[in-house]
Amino acid sequence: MRVAVTVEEIRNQVKEWKREGLSVGLVPTMGALHEGHASLVDASVKSCDRTVTSIFVNPKQFGKSEDLDSYPRTFDEDCRILEERGCDMVFAPTVDVMYPDGFGAEIQITTDMVNQLCGASRPGHFKGVCTVVGKLFNIVAPDKAFFGEKDAQQLAVIRKMVKDLNFDVEVVGCPTIREADGLAKSSRNVYMNEEERNAAGILYQSMLKAQELIKNGERSAETIAEQMKALIATEGMAQIDYVRIVDGLTLLPTDEVKAGDLVALAVCFGNTRLIDNFTVSF
């Protein structure tokens, strides 16, 4: 497995692969890899002839009060995981490579989807996401790009960007990987102490509650969300940011739940903010 740190290195290798008629998959990450990331690499390796994984902690998607400086960086361990999974190349640029002196471009979705859910409390976050992902798509020129469904809003926003700007890449969503108690795998899980980690299991329980309500015929988005909140509130360490049900494509709020809607939540345990979701199916 090779490690590229410049745009020229990664482009030259991808061009060589494509001259050989090989397909290329991209797994964009910020490092601190876990089984969720590994499952994306697995999907790419299975679907494409060659797999590139990017490791770049993108400063443009962090707010002023967010955890950029403390975000876990485990590059050597990340490379070990990637090599074991069959990744062919790592793209690990510095900030100066991605955003050189004088950089002034950005990609911004102007519909209200970026102001919903996490976007309501993280202004500018998805502009940073779209800008870095757009650059990665242009640099790597993958045939397919793989993203986790845990970050459902991010996935929806990237799909919107790809559609509207005619990027020649297929965006593939991959299922959320969970711990034994149902908690979604996340790089931020390591921030929690043992008590907070145990308390966080309430999130999955609340989603199971919502699925049960829907299965039993409940269609009021407000009723389902309120019952989820009530269950989460029984865990004293949980501080709810939001529990909402939105249209799966536009991310706008819905009153009556239908197949394809997204049930999404964000809850803090101590200083750790966790997100999770599921898509409604009947």
CA angle 143, 147, 242 (to 5 degrees): 150
Q: From CA 171, how far away is CA 195, in angstroms rounded?
A: 37
CB atoms within 10 A of CB 182: 16
For the CA atoms of 10, 11, 17, 21, the dihedral, rounded to the nearest 10 degrees, stands at: 150
Q: Which residues are catalytic?
A: 37
Give the sheet arrangement for strand 144-148, strand by strand: 2-4, 89-91, 50-55, 24-29, 144-148, 170-174
Q: Which residue has the tokens 């509207």?
A: 164
